[in-house]
Amino acid sequence: MAQQLYWEDVQEGQDVPPYSQMVGYMELNRFAGANDELVPIHMDADYAKNVAKLPDVIVMGNLKLAYIANAVTDWAGDEGWIEKLFIEYRKMDFVNHTLTAKAKVTKKYERDSRHLVDLDVWVENDEGETTTPGRATLRLPSRQ
Amino acid sequence: MSKVITDAARALIGVELDPVKAEIDKTWVRRYALAVKSPQPPNPLYTDESYAAGTTWGGVIAPPTLCTGFPWLGPLLDKINPSMGKYRVGLNGGNEYELYEPVRIGDVLTGVPKLAGLDEKPRDDGGVMLVINLEAQFTNQRGEKVLTARQTLLRIYGPENFTQE
């Protein structure tokens, strides 16, 4: 339902509006069920701390990827199409912290009649650290 | 000398496994769309038939990252795991997706998974980080190429009790 973005309206260097969410057990468990990702380190603090020896329950990488996709698709509108999405999970994110998915336009170009935008994408934790960097290629409609 | 990668595991690199199926139903798409946007309302392109019918797609499509739940990793890991020792913790290192065609409710996708590579790196604590690269190509019931999925899994072994089998 987002307003449609057109390729001509995008500028290299432009920031994409961020998508932010406090990730509690509700968000983790809901996603675990929806994505069939029922893994103890994402659900069980006792297991995470005492068996896996982690500081706390960690947020699924796939949920962080989905938040990045939210940021990009909310900005792009219905006709936007993510052609490529690459992400690295370099630092863990823990339950009960706010995550913010961000993106910045790095390149705008045409290829084989497609109007494309390359983006740096990433997730920041609530201390402003990038935990999850990546890249995306987005296809947009053109006014031409 | 590998501490955790066995010859049997290495022999699996590049071997295409039996195809896996992903049947895309309305409940799956709806639950996923709700989960990734909660507590905000879901994107109606993924949940509202009448809204989606008025878009360029002509109907509901799946969210782009629904593919993270396609059931291709399990069979692949079932094949790999017996060749490996017991690890202390497993982590998702990264994903790469190339999306070619929209996935729609009622689609039956067929994925062909394979182990793309194995690597291991020493850790400062004396343990080992195993890097597993996995890949699958998905087509839909019309034979259209829908998706290339790549996944990197990280496994931490040791520093004590390596149990190479």
DSSP conformation letters of B4-44: S--HHHHTTBT-B---EEEE--HHHHHHHHHHHHTTSPPPH
Q: Contact B38/A30, CB-based, under 8 Å?
A: yes
What is the three-class DSSP state of B135?
A: strand
- Name the residue type at position B108: V
Q: What is the structure's pLDDT at A1?
A: 59
List the one residue out of B55, B50, B138, B30 whose CA is nearest residue A76: B55
Report in angstroms the alpha-carbon separations of A104 from A59, A75, A101, A114, B114.
23, 11, 11, 20, 33
Of A21 and A1, the structure prediction assigns the larger pLDDT to A21
Q: What is the structure's pLDDT at B165?
A: 41
pLDDT > 90? residue B71: no
B43 touches chain A (CB under 8 A): yes
Candidates A70, A90, A93, A135, partner chain B, best to mutate (most B CBs within 10 A): A70
Query: What is the average pLDDT across B12-26?
Result: 93
Matching residue, tokens 């339902």: A1
Out of B89, B95, B102, closest to residue A87 by CB = B95
Give the rounded percent of residues in chain B with a pLDDT score beyond 90: 69
Q: Is the dihedral of CA B156, B5, B84, A36 positive or negative?
A: positive
pLDDT in tens, A13-50: 999 999 999 999 999 999 999 999 899 999 999 999 99
pLDDT in tens, A88-135: 999 999 999 999 999 999 999 999 999 999 999 999 999 999 999 999
Out of B51, B57, B94, closest to residue A89 by CB = B94
Query: What is the average pLDDT across B71-80?
Result: 86
B-chain CB neighbours of A62 within 8 Å are 65, 68-69, 92, 95
A20 touches chain B (CB under 8 A): no
Name the closest residue on chain A to residue B150, using Cα atoms: A86
A86 touches chain B (CB under 8 A): yes
Strand partners, B153: B92, B132
B56 touches chain A (CB under 8 A): yes
B36 touches chain A (CB under 8 A): yes
Element (H, E) at B138: strand B128-139
B68 touches chain A (CB under 8 A): yes
